[in-house]
Amino acid sequence: MSEITPMDAYFRKLFGKRNIKTTENKALENMRRLEEERKSNMPNVPEMDGFIYVPSINLYIAKERTLKGKTWNQTHEILQKDNKFMPSIYHFTEYLNYLKNDHEDRDEAETILDDILKTGDWRAEWLDAKFEKKKDGLYLLSDHRIENKKLIAKSEQPLEKCVMEDCYVNFDFNSQGLPVSKSKSQSYEQGENIKFWCPEHSGRVAWFYVGSDNAGLSCYDDVPDSSGDNLGVFPCAEGASQKIGSRK
Report mean pLDDT in 10-residue bins for the chain, 248 residues.
58 54 59 56 70 96 97 96 96 97 96 97 97 94 93 95 96 96 95 94 94 95 86 91 41
pLDDT score of 39: 47
CB atoms closer than 10 angstroms to residue 53: 19
Residue 201 confidence (pLDDT): 85
Pairing state between β 150-158 and 137-147: antiparallel
Residue 124: enclosing H or E segment and its boundaries?
strand 123-134
**Predicted pLDDT at 22:** 55
Domain chopping of the chain, boundaries: 8-37, 51-243
90, containing H or E segment: helix 89-101
Tell me how crowded residue 55 is: count the other CB atoms within 10 A of its CB: 14
pTM (2 d.p.): 0.79
The neighbouring-strand residues paired with 137 are 134
Q: What confidence score (pLDDT) does residue 220 get? A: 85
**Can you name the residues that pair with 244 across neighbouring β-strands?**
none
Q: How many CB atoms lie within 10 A of CB 87?
A: 29
Asked whether the beta carbons of 129 and 85 are under 8 A apart, the reply is: no
The DSSP bridge partners found for residue 2 are none
